[in-house]
Amino acid sequence: MVLQPFTLADVPVLQDLQPEGWDNLTPIFNYYLRSDFCYPLKIVIDNKVIGTGVSIIHDDVAWLAHIIVHKDHRNKGVGQQITQHLINSIPTHCKTIYLIATDMGEPVYKKLGFIAEADYAFLNKGSFGTFTSSDNVTPFEAKHEAEILAIDKAASGENRAMHFSGHLQDSFVYVVNDKVEGYYLPAFGNGLIVAINPTAGIEMMKLRSKKSDTFILPKDNKAAVDCLVKNNYNLFRIAKRMRLGAEIPWQPKNIYNRVSGQIG
């Protein structure tokens, strides 16, 4: 059993590793391979890739992602070995490591010291019905960038600015008296929505509902969850946000749709 860097030549093996119900892995691994802050690895037995894992570094915070084991090699400690190797590879200046746990992975992560910090609610198949977009919703302009990044850092507790490049030009903001109160990035992961109040957040959710009827957001954002339930969205899954290391202040009530399971 050997751990090695995951390379472009390994991308075709993702088809065999793809867990049922997950989005296509190829685009996100291509993104990892192009990024200088993502470190994908593979685990090999008899020259065959039987697992993957990724570490993602945001200044003093790290995320672990796509810890996947081929179905023929599960329940043999492979997932724990991958996770421990990823933990050991994290730079010492990172004081906190996050991940989003599936039901299958949660017991493994608990054994390694991770604690459950929050729940993410998955809701779908509802409808906001016919609505008119608020006059406060406007396309992104360059002058909005600094405010967007500040709102995101306050909500996530992390510096995620490196991810925003290339996604802002197609985004939308909710502006009151020339102040940005929320934003929606349609092309960033699952369509990130962050807002400083429910009025802005829910207007952005309505806009996003034209593109997707599935929302994934912290269960602690009661205003957003209640709004979705009121509009006949169904809760179909809960996932755990887990942490190893120092607690970092964040504002889950300001997140109206997460970017992805890889970076919160």
Name the domain count of the chain: 2
Structural contact between residues 208 and 176, judged by C-beta atoms closer than 8 angstroms: no
135 plus 250 within the same structural domain: yes
Boundary of a domain, candidates 73, 94, 115? 94
Helical residues (DSSP H) of the chain, grouped into ranges = 14-17, 25-34, 78-89, 106-111, 145-156, 161-164, 198-208, 222-230
pLDDT in tens, the chain (264 residues): 899 999 999 999 999 999 888 889 999 999 899 998 999 999 999 999 999 999 999 889 999 999 999 999 998 999 999 999 999 999 999 999 999 998 889 999 999 999 999 999 999 999 998 778 899 999 999 999 999 999 999 999 999 998 898 899 999 999 999 999 999 999 988 999 999 999 999 999 999 999 999 999 999 999 999 999 999 999 999 999 999 999 999 999 999 999 987 787
Q: By the 8 A CB rule, do 82 and 70 touch? A: no
Q: Is residue 103 part of a domain?
A: no
Task: Show which of 94, 110, 135 is a domain's final residue.
Answer: 94
Range of the domain at 225: 123-257
Last residue of a domain, one of 75, 94, 113: 94
In this structure, is residue 115 part of a structural domain?
A: no
Residue 17 lies in a domain: yes
Pair (155, 90) in one structural domain: no
Q: How many CA atoms lie within 13 A of 72 on its CB side?
A: 6
**Are 83 and 151 part of one and the same domain?**
no
